[in-house]
Amino acid sequence: MKLLTSFILLCLPFTLFCADYPDISVKELESVLKNGKVAVIDVNGAKSFGRGHIPTAIDFSSAGKDLASLLPKDKSTLVVSYCGGPGCRAYKRGANAAAKLGYKNVKHLSAGISGWKKAGAKVAKK
């Protein structure tokens, strides 16, 4: 019992900021992008970002400590983080950073940039 309690106490801090985030589909994200009420975080790295990203996305690797100033002041704004595709978990870096800054409506585009492109959605380039 002591071992189980110790394990739970040890893991609890990691689960608070490493939670999974609800998914958003490509169609849903396209829809909210039209009304401009979303912040999008791309965690694929600067090279990938330069080759093509979701319009309005923030390049997480370049944002660094400026992420807070690049996100909307309204903490209830939808924030969507994405990476390469369904098998990638790097999106959590962006999602966790937004959650740590106090954003309450953080989601994950599990399709990633590969699914976004496959769906024929608009891609922006630097």
What is the distance of C-alpha 53 from the center of its chain? 13
Q: Is residue 8 part of a domain?
A: no
% of the chain beyond a pLDDT of 90 = 79
Q: Is residue 14 part of a domain?
A: no
Query: Cα dist. 71→13, 30, 102 in Å?
Result: 25, 19, 11
Cα atoms in the Cβ-side hemisphere of radius 13 Å centred on 87: 0
Each residue of 8-24: pLDDT tens digit?
434 434 334 445 899 99
Q: State the DSSP string of 12-68.
A: HHHHHHS----B--HHHHHHHHHHT-EEEEE-S-HHHHHH-B-TT-EEHHHHGGGHH
Q: Is residue 79 part of a domain?
A: yes
Give the model's confidence band at 73: pLDDT under 50 very low, under 70 low, under 90 confident, else very high.
very high
Interval 108-126 mean pLDDT: 95
Q: Which of 50, 54, 37 is nearest to 94 (CA)?
A: 54
Number of domains, the chain: 1
Q: Report whether pLDDT(49) > 90.
A: yes
What is the distance of C-alpha 80 from the center of its chain? 4
0.95 exceeded by pTM: no
Each residue of 81-101: pLDDT tens digit?
999 999 999 999 999 999 999
Owning domain of residue 29: 20-118
CATH number of the CATH domain containing 44: 3.40.250.10
Q: Is the dihedral of CA 29, 35, 40, 46 positive or negative?
A: positive
What is the distance of C-alpha 121 from the center of its chain? 18
Q: Is residue 77 part of a domain?
A: yes
